Chains A and B, each alone.
Chain A
Amino acid sequence: MKAATTPSRVNPVYPFRKPDDFDGRERHYPVCVVGAGPVGLAAAIDLKLRGVDVLLVDEGDTVSAGSRLICLAKRSLEIFARLGIGAELAAKGVVWNRGKVFHGDDLVYAFDLLPEEGHRWPAFINIQQYYVEEYLVDRARSLGIDLRWKTRLTGTEDQGDGVRAQVSTPEGGYSFTCDWLLACDGVRSTVRGGLDLPFRGQSFPDRFLIADVRMKAEFPAERRFWFDPPFHAGRSALLHKQPDDIWRIDLQLGPDADPEEEARPERVLPRIRAMIGPDTPFDLEWVSVYTFRCRRLERFRHGRIFFLGDAAHQVSPFGARGGNGGIQDADNLAWKLAETMAGRAGAALLDSYEAERIPAADENILNSSRSTDFMTPVGGAAEALRDSALSLSRTHAFARSFVNSGRLSTPALLAGSPLSTADEPECADFSGPMRPGAAAVDAPFGKGWWLDRLDGGFELLHFTDEGGTGPERCAGLPVHCARSEGQLASRYDGRPGTTWLFRPDQHVAARWRSLDPALVGAALDRARGRP
């Protein structure tokens, strides 16, 4: 549902170019990625950086029409930095770490998602999806990725040793084959539809108005959430700052709201006016009326076709778990495909995509469903419990834990991953959140940042007592030696001898209290899915 809006920015247009494939000779591509959203572009760039040639097709010819995904979580920023668009995101985005939750007029509590120093990236950067896509498209082009616009996938056929795909374009259709096809084509995935795969889950009856408003306002760069605010009685509201003096406003409308009616400017403008006060001039940049669903595919892999992002799973926006979950899908799959195609992996490596990302999707669905349930309680008892948690939270600190305005995206822990090596008994004394499966946490390292050193391969971190020197390689892998003091050592519980093995996606594969080439080699085999 679109209202009359006045976008301040004109998106770039990427013209259709007729490829050689029209000559009647069917071509073969190692990997085809379908969908040039943040997830598809991330997957394509990651694969290309790992030496895999990628064909990327998209039915459109531009970037996202609205701001859509605006909250990039720390893990996504770390992934995008590895893919090469960190500087652009840092220059343009709005950094935030803090949030406030209000009930009526009153502040219920404030939180800080990153209350410590020593990280390159903040808890979140807000930036419109169209900027992220534009930076990724520029990066993909600079890497020589074959990007084809106005190219709509119309069918796939699993041939056992590959996939045959048909596409349609403004100048007609053609077909090609690929070894692997990555469906990153969103909630209305044509790949998923073509395979007639069920996409099941929960629907929430409440409608929400989402508006981008352009105005000069003095609200700080923080997430603000209201339950039952004076300007929108009995419902919830959310405010986020974006670049270019644009503010995201999200208003709960209730289950009976008429989506067409509610998207009309004469309905939207008074709601915004009530929220921001009588004196601030503003323009509507983008408006949409939504209902939310939480659902996923039963399997994320079907033969040689993988599903990533919204094509595989859908969540409500509270917690920013949709886009950030999808970007982690791409991060998880790209290195596994590259290792497999280079002949370095066992069959179990590609199977681990589902073993790792289905539980991650379920965690995101669980959290975003619970947040939405808290905001839209159904039935007298649910409403009474919700309201009681809110009213108690004003006087009792414990009750704030129940107040759920969105549990914000964190990297999946990948607990129980088949690629992780279980701790030896000597590792029982490790303390802190880092463990096999966890995404590596950042820290200052040398003159830069630890995560910048984990730039795409299997790597070892080894703590020593004297000056942070030690072997340069072990079991064929590079060893980063570090002193067993300072922030890096404290975050990795680094004592002399402590060793961590990281995967190409910066997740921990194994850890020990010593550096043993035989143990490293065995953990490396396991992390590559080799028997």
Chain B
Amino acid sequence: MNRADDIFAALVEAHRGLDEEESLRLDARLILLLANEVGDGDRVLALIEEAHASRGVPNDAPVSGSSEG
């Protein structure tokens, strides 16, 4: 993923100062735009499923990739 830190920072920045409802709407617009960019409906449905399935993963669970140390 190129520009990952830029993207993450931009997402956080876009939500800054928004109330809860405004944030929900920003996310919703973004999700629909991204879904369109993905293009393939099956792939979008799989990603929704993946996001839903991982909702119980605790924040401090080990993640794939290398850790510092």
Prevailing SS type, chain B contact patch? helix
Most B C-beta atoms less than 10 A away, residue of A380, A388, A396: A388
Whole-angstrom distance between the Cβ of A374 and the nearest chain B Cβ: 13
Interface segment among B2-10, B21-29, B53-61: the answer is B21-29
Would you call B36 and A385 a contact (CB within 8 A)?
no
Which chain B residue shows the least CB distance to A397? B36
A402 at the interface (CB under 8 A from B): yes
Report Cα–Cα, A387/B28, bound state, in Å: 9
Question: Considering the complex, which residues of chain B in the window 1-60 have a beta carbon less than 8 Å from any beta carbon of chain A?
Answer: 20-21, 24-25, 27-29, 31-33, 36
Would you call B36 and A399 a contact (CB within 8 A)?
yes
**With known contacts A380-B20, A384-B21, A402–B32 Cβ distance under 8 A:** yes
Return the contact of A392 from the options B20, B24, B27, B29 (Cβ within 8 A). B29
Report Cα–Cα, A184/B20, bound state, in Å: 50
Contacts of A385 in B (CB 8 A): 28, 31-32
Would you call A389 and B32 a contact (CB within 8 A)?
yes
**Chain B residue total in the interface (Cβ 8 A):** 11
Question: Considering the complex, which residues of chain A in the window 357-399 have a beta carbon less than 8 Å from any beta carbon of chain B?
Answer: 380-381, 384-385, 387-389, 391-392, 396, 398-399
Contacts of B21 in A (CB 8 A): 380, 384
Would you call A391 and B29 a contact (CB within 8 A)?
yes
Return the contact of B33 from the options A380, A381, A384, A392 (Cβ within 8 A). A392
Contacts of A399 in B (CB 8 A): 32, 36
Contacts of B32 in A (CB 8 A): 385, 388-389, 392, 399, 402
Report Cα–Cα, A381/B25, bound state, in Å: 8
Would you call B36 and A384 a contact (CB within 8 A)?
no
Q: Which B residues have a C-beta under 8 Å from some C-beta of A?
A: 20-21, 24-25, 27-29, 31-33, 36
- Among all A-B residue pairs, the 10 with the closest Cβ atoms: A388-B28, A384-B24, A384-B28, A388-B29, A385-B28, A398-B36, A384-B25, A380-B24, A388-B32, A381-B24
